[in-house]
Amino acid sequence: MSVRFDLPDELSASAPPEARGLARDEVRLLVADPAGVHHTVFGALGEHLRAGDLLVVNTSGTLPAAIDARRGRQQVVVHFSTGLDDGAWVVELRAPGGPLLDGRPGERLALPGGASLTLLAEHVPGQARLWRASVSVPVSGLLAASGRPIRYGYVPRAWPLSDYQTVFAREPGSAEMPSAARPFTDALVTRLVTDGVLFAPLLLHTGVSSLEPGEPPQAERFRVPATTAALVSWVRARGGRVVAVGTTAARALESAADGPAEGWTGLVLGPDRPARVVDGIVTGLHAPDASHLLLLEAVAGPELVQRAYDAAVERRYLWHEFGDVSLLLRR
C-alpha cells in the first residue's frame, strides 16, 4: 500500500462516544473528495450526498465472540472468528500481549460449563495465528451464555454488546462490529431517505481483524441479494453514486460486481483489483498497517486517501470502532 502515516497512541478511541457525552451521530466526519477535505459531524452526512445516491449497508450483527479458556494452567482468551461449512470454527488464541502462535494440532482447551475446544490444523498452512477448531457444544449457545464482545488493548474496560451493534444489524454472525455503520441512527436514516438518498442491504459476516503485518484478509461469508444488485445497477445507470457503508459492504459489493451472489469471498481489493461498482465509502479510520487501507485505495485512489489520513492525524480525529468516521468519494 502507498498510504503512510504515524498514529499517536492517544488518537485511539478508548470508549464509545456516548461515554464521552456524544450521541452516535455526533462523532466527527471527515469528507474527502476530488474538491478537497472537509470537516463536519456525522449527522450532517446528507449534506455531502445527493438525491439518487445509494448507501449499501451490512445487516450483520456482532457476536459476543470472546470466551475465556484454560490452556493447561494458562488462562487465555479464544476469539471465535468464523463458522465453517463443516461445523468447525476458525479461532484465534490470545493472551494479554497479543495472539498466541504456539498452538499444536490436537491441543485441547477447557471452556466454560465443561465444554472443550480442540485445535485441528492451522487455518492457513504455515501461519500459526488462526486455527480450525472443533467445539464440543453448539457455539451459538456457548457464546450466548459465556461470550463477550472482542476488544483490544486500546479499550481498557468492557462495554455491553449493545454498544457493538449497529442500527442495521439483523442477522448475528460477525466476530467484530461492522463499525462504519455505528454512527447511523434511525432519525438520521429517516432524514436521508426524505432527502432522496437510497438504502440497500447486504450481508457479510466479518472475522477477526487482528491481522499480522502482511497477512491478507481471510475469506468471509457474504450475501448480496438480487434486489440490491438490481438497485446498484439502476443507480449507476442514472448517474448516482454507490457508497458502501464500511469495508465489509465494499468487499461484498465488489464480490457481486456481475450480479447477485452469495457464499464465501476471498476477494482482496487493491492495485491489481480496483473497485468496479463502488464510488465511495463510509469508513472508520484504520491503523497504519491495516490491509483495509488497500481497499480504500482501490475505491478512492491512494492520493485522496493519503490526503484524508494526513488531515485526520492533523485534526486529531479518533481511530478504531468507537472513533470518528470518514466519507471518501472518488467522484
Q: Helix, strand or coil for residue 264?
A: strand
Report d(CA 97, CA 153) in Å as an integer.
Answer: 9
Q: What is the pLDDT of residues 139-192, one digit of tens each?
A: 999 999 999 999 999 999 999 999 999 999 999 999 999 999 999 999 999 999
Residue 212, pLDDT score: 63
Report d(CA 59, CA 203) in Å as an integer.
Answer: 5
Average pLDDT, integer, range 8-31: 98
Report d(CA 290, CA 297) in Å as an integer.
Answer: 12
Band (211; pLDDT cuts 50, 70, 90): low
Q: What is the pLDDT of residues 88-97, one digit of tens each?
A: 999 999 999 8
Question: Cell triple for residue 189?
Answer: 436514516
Pairing of the two strands 171-174 and 60-62: parallel
Angle between helices 247-255 and 292-300 (to 10 degrees): 70
CATH label, 66-146, candidates 3.40.50, 2.60.120, 3.30.70, 2.40.10: 2.40.10
Average pLDDT, integer, range 214-224: 88
Residue 217, pLDDT score: 86
Band (213; pLDDT cuts 50, 70, 90): low
Residues near 8 by Cβ (< 8 Å), separated by ≥ 6?
A: 313
Band (214; pLDDT cuts 50, 70, 90): low
Residues near 25 by Cβ (< 8 Å), separated by ≥ 6?
A: 41, 42, 43, 183, 184, 185, 187, 188
Band (216; pLDDT cuts 50, 70, 90): confident
Band (220; pLDDT cuts 50, 70, 90): very high
Q: What residues does 328 pair with on adjacent strands?
A: 32, 281
Average pLDDT, integer, range 228-234: 99
Specify the long-range contacts of residues 103-108, CB closer than 8 Å, at least 24 apart: 103/128, 103/131, 107/71
Per CATH, is 9-62+159-329 categorized as 2.30.30.110? Answer: no
> What are the C-alpha distances in Å from 138 to residues 11, 117, 141, 144?
39, 11, 6, 10
Exposed e or buried b per residue across 7-42, where buried means at least 16 C-beta atoms within 10 angstroms of its C-beta = beeebbbbebbeeeeeebbbbbbbbbbeeebeeebb
Please report, for the chain, how many H helices and E strands are present, in that order: 6, 18
What's the farthest any 2 CA atoms get from each other in the chain? 62
Q: What is the pLDDT of residues 288-323, one digit of tens each?
A: 988 899 999 999 999 999 999 999 999 999 999 999
Q: List the one residue out of 251, 311, 303 whose CA is nearest residue 276.
A: 251
Average pLDDT, integer, range 2-13: 96
The domain locations on the chain are 9-62+159-329, 66-146
First-last CA distance in the chain: 22
Report d(CA 195, CA 47) in Å as an integer.
Answer: 10
Torsions phi, psi of 259, nearest 5? 145, 180
Mean pLDDT of the chain: 97
